[in-house]
Structures are given as C-alpha cells and as structure tokens.
Amino acid sequence: MPRFLHQSFLYSTLLLFFISCKTYQLIDVKPAPGTEKSVENLYFSSKEDYVYKCQIDIYKNQVSGILIIKRINETTHRVALTSDFGNKLIDFEISDQDFKINYIIPDLDKKIVKNFLKNDFQHLLKQTYPVQESFENDQSKIFVSQEDHNKYYLFFDKKDSLLHQIMYTRNNKAKIDFSFEAKKHIFADSINLQHKDFKINIKLVQITETE
C-alpha cells in the first residue's frame, strides 16, 4: 500500500507540468461591512484528542486508517495516522513555521510525501487569519486573508456562524478546497480536503467527539 502511494505522488508531480489552474474568483457576492481584523478556524483549538476515520483517494488508489490530531501547545499540533489494523504509519508535529517527523514508515519516507503532509496540515490547522476584505452572499459571510502569495477565502454560515469552507489559493490559483460539517465551532464532524491541481482527496469523519 505505501509503495503505490509514493508512485502516485510522483505521477501527480509530473502532471503539474501539464495541468493549468484557473484564476479563482468569488461569484455572486457583494462587499460586506465589517470591523473584523481577523477571523479564526477553531476546529482544532481544543486540547482534547480529535479522532477521525481517514480516507485518502489518490488517483485510482484508496488508503484508509485512523487519524488523531492533538493540540500540544498554543502553536503546535501532533498528528498520527495508523492503519485500520492499528499499525502506526506516520507521526509528526506541525505548526505554522515548523514540521517535525517523529516516525514514518520507510516506504513513505520520501521528500514528496513529507512536503504533501506539511502543506496540507499547515493549512488545515492554521487558526488565525488577518482579514483584508469582507464579502457576503445569501448563505455566507466571506473573509479574505492574504499572506505573501497565499490567499484564503473563509466562508462562515450566516445562520449559525460556523466555518463551512476555506478555499486556499496561491498566486490566485485554487489549490485546496477545505469543507467542513459541524455543529459547534471547536469541532468539525466531517472534513473534506480536495486538491485542485492533484487528483487527491482526503475525507475525515469523526469517531470521537471532543466536549
């Protein structure tokens, strides 16, 4: 299983030279008044363990397991992925600035795999976003946050004020679409990560809920 993961990552990297991403634009929105200087993704802010059933689709291949995410301090989370049989596959610590591998099985110990993990989880676990612009449509209030070449569009539902989507773009090209289903602001019941320039999709469904 890990061997085909590595092959799929190599394949997807080659495809980047042939795939062009369209410029991402908001559609059917209007400027929204607001005084927010920053907004937050609080779905991983609790110190309790977040435990999810994890499914990774890479092209025509599928991997499943258990993903555990734990906040160990104000800036850092620890992430572990095990197989369905309980064998540890990956264990790492991650923050906005750092990425430390505690354990990774040899077949996954490749630079491209580690870069993929670092990129996805740094964006997923990022908590605070400075706001430059605000928009709205009938369903959502949308905050735009830009840091260097990275831009994030955060969609908060108008009915319950919960975060239900983050679109991450780089150089104005859509890169990853994060979607959330939640009943409370500190825990997402399910999360979907869809890459726009890879045929890679990650689905997380809660197993145990944090209080």
Write down the residue that tokens 């150089």 correspond to.
171
**Pick from 2, 49, 53: which is nearest to 203 by CA?**
53
List of domains in the chain: 2-208 (2.50.20)
Give the DSSP letter string of 39-60.
EE--TT-SSS-EEEEEEEEETT
Report how far residue 148's alpha carbon sits from residue 96's, in angstroms, rounded to the nearest whole number: 14
What 8-state DSSP symbol labels residue 107?
Answer: G
User: Which pLDDT does position 59 carry in this prediction?
Assistant: 72
Residues whose CB falls within 8 Å of the CB of residue 35, separated by 6 or more in sequence, listed in order? none
- Assess contact for 153 and 140: CB atoms under 8 A: no
User: Which pLDDT does position 211 carry in this prediction?
Assistant: 45
- Assess contact for 36 and 141: CB atoms under 8 A: no
Cβ-in-10-Å burial (0-12, 13-18, 19+) of 196 comes to middle
User: Which pLDDT does position 34 carry in this prediction?
Assistant: 77
- Assess contact for 177 and 33: CB atoms under 8 A: no
The residues of the chain scoring below 50 in pLDDT are 1, 10, 13-20, 210-211
User: Which pLDDT does position 39 carry in this prediction?
Assistant: 97
* pLDDT tens figures, 26-60: 999 999 987 789 999 999 999 999 999 999 887 77
Report how far residue 207's alpha carbon sits from residue 94's, in angstroms, rounded to the nearest whole number: 22
- Assess contact for 136 and 144: CB atoms under 8 A: no
Report how far residue 65's alpha carbon sits from residue 53's, in angstroms, rounded to the nearest whole number: 6
Write down the residue that tokens 């200087």 correspond to.
37
